[in-house]
């Protein structure tokens, strides 16, 4: 019975349907690519899409962008350089190279520092105008240059600062150097100087700034500068909010042959200075008898500035001295020299070097008291 039932069930079990043949998947008909629109060369572009858009400055072409966190808040500011248009200048924004706030340039080389804000608009912190930016084929005497526009992290500082140097065309080449730091949402200058490049050299590095400036001291202004100047080298370091001078040295200039000391106090012995030498010797004799304080640089400062306090000798070399002192609202220093040291020795009168124009004060105020030398 079991075998018969099994045979009966197998005989009546339906079989599987045959697999249908594979049908190929139809492919869509390829469509030709869209033709680009015809470009009318020479026509005005329909719309320019500037980056770093704000209501004051817009850029149509960017040549350089640097990002730096200038206030250590975790949000990076942008140092932007390119071609752009200035629509307006707010009074609180430092502006470099502009003729006026009413006569603004159109589509000129610009450089700016912008800050990202909560709104889509970037906030303008600083803007500069370079009307004649040098190209490789241009004559440097006919165009302005921007040798430095970057952020600098000084070794002794707590945040980056923005350093700018502009070399203007024409004679004499005027070199502008500016250093700014971002403080409470505004740019504040920490260092600024402008002078002819022939008499000034400012180098910017992580250790600070070094300024080398030719100091005119001689009496005969008709002489070439090589015979009436020396170089004052000052180095500055940057700390919290302020910069401080930490070194200052006096260097003899123009010793081309290397066999003669061409320091200015030795040149009074030349034949062309015979008249001036005689006058200075007579002044020396009177000063020794009548004003013995003229033989001491510290006493010279006390007599010249009666309200000077804490008068101290900061540095001294043969024939040259730097004196630091305090006045109301001013931490000052002044350079003195001995015109007759070559013939009179150490016991010679002292006089004030002319760092600025003769009608201005002989001393220079610093932002804060200098470091101990």
Q: Model's pTM, two decimal places?
A: 0.62
State whether residue 232 is helix, strand or coil: strand
Beta strand pairing status for 95-96 and 122-129? parallel
Domain shared by 200 and 273, yes or no: no
Distance of alpha carbon 74 from alpha carbon 346, whole angstroms = 59
Task: Indicate the range of 80-84, 132-136, 245-249, 268-272 predicted with least confidence.
Answer: 268-272
The strand pair at 229-238 and 243-251 is best described as: antiparallel
Tell whether 77 and 161 lie within a shared domain. Answer: yes
**What is the distance of C-alpha 306 from the center of its chain?**
37
Does a structural domain hold residue 44? no
Query: Does some domain include residue 74?
Result: yes
User: How far apart (Å, rounded) are the C-alpha atoms in residues 324 and 256?
Assistant: 32
Domain that holds residue 154: 57-206
Query: Could you report the per-residue pLDDT of 208-233, keeping only the tens digit for each?
Result: 888 887 766 554 555 555 555 667 77
Residue 359 lies in a domain: yes
Residue 42 included in any domain: no
> What number is the average pLDDT over the span 157-182?
87
Among residues 168, 190, 206, the one where a domain terminates is 206
In a domain, 269, yes or no: yes
Which residues neighbour 116 within 8 Å (Cβ) at sequence distance 6 or greater?
75, 76, 77, 78, 122, 123
Residue 158: inside a domain, yes or no?
yes
Number of domains in the chain: 2
Structure confidence by residue, pLDDT tens digits, 298-353: 998 999 899 999 999 887 777 788 898 988 888 888 888 877 665 555 677 888 87
* % of residues, the chain, pLDDT over 70: 71
Whether residue 288 sits in one domain with residue 182: no
Q: What is the CATH number of the domain that holds 149?
A: 2.40.128
pLDDT digits (tens, 9 = 90+) for 16-29: 666 666 677 777 77
**Is residue 45 over pLDDT 90?**
no
334/313 Cα distance (integer angstroms): 10
> Are residues 174 and 64 part of one domain?
yes
């Amino acid at each position: 019975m079991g075998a018969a039932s099994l045979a009966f069930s197998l005989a009546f079990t339906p079989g599987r349907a045959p697999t249908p043949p594979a049908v190929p998947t139809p492919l869509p008909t390829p469509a030709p690519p869209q033709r680009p629109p015809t470009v009318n060369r020479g026509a005005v572009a329909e719309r320019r899409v500037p980056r770093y858009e704000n209501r004051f400055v817009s850029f149509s072409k960017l040549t350089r962008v640097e990002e730096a966190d200038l206030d250590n808040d975790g949000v990076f500011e942008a140092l932007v350089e390119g071609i752009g248009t200035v629509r307006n200048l707010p009074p609180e924004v430092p502006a470099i190279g502009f003729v006026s706030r009413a006569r603004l340039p159109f589509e000129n080389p610009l450089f700016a520092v912008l800050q990202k804000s909560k709104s889509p608009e970037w906030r303008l912190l600083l803007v500069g105008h370079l009307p004649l930016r040098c190209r490789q084929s241009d004559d440097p005497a006919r165009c302005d240059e921007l040798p430095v526009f970057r952020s600098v992290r000084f070794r002794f500082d707590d945040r980056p600062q923005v350093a700018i140097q502009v070399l203007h065309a024409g004679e004499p080449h005027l070199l502008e150097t500016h250093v700014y730091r971002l403080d409470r949402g505004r740019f504040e200058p920490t260092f600024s100087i402008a002078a002819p490049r022939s008499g000034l050299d400012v180098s910017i590095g992580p250790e600070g700034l070094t300024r080398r400036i030719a100091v005119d001291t001689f009496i005969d202004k008709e002489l070439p500068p090589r015979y009436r100047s020396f170089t004052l080298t000052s180095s500055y370091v940057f700390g919290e909010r302020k910069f401080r001078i930490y070194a200052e040295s006096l260097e003899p200039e123009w010793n081309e042959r290397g066999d003669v000391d061409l320091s200015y106090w030795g040149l009074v012995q030349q034949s062309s200075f015979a008249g001036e030498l005689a006058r200075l010797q007579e002044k020396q004799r009177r000063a020794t008898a009548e004003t013995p304080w003229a033989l001491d640089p510290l006493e010279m400062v006390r007599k010249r500035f009666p309200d000077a306090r804490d008068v101290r000798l900061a540095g001294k070399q043969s024939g040259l001295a730097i004196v630091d002192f305090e006045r109301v609202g001013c931490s000052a220093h002044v350079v003195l020299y001995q015109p007759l040291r070559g013939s009179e020795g150490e016991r010679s009168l002292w006089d004030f070097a002319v760092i600025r124009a003769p009608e201005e004060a002989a001393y220079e105020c610093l932002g804060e008291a200098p470091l101990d030398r």
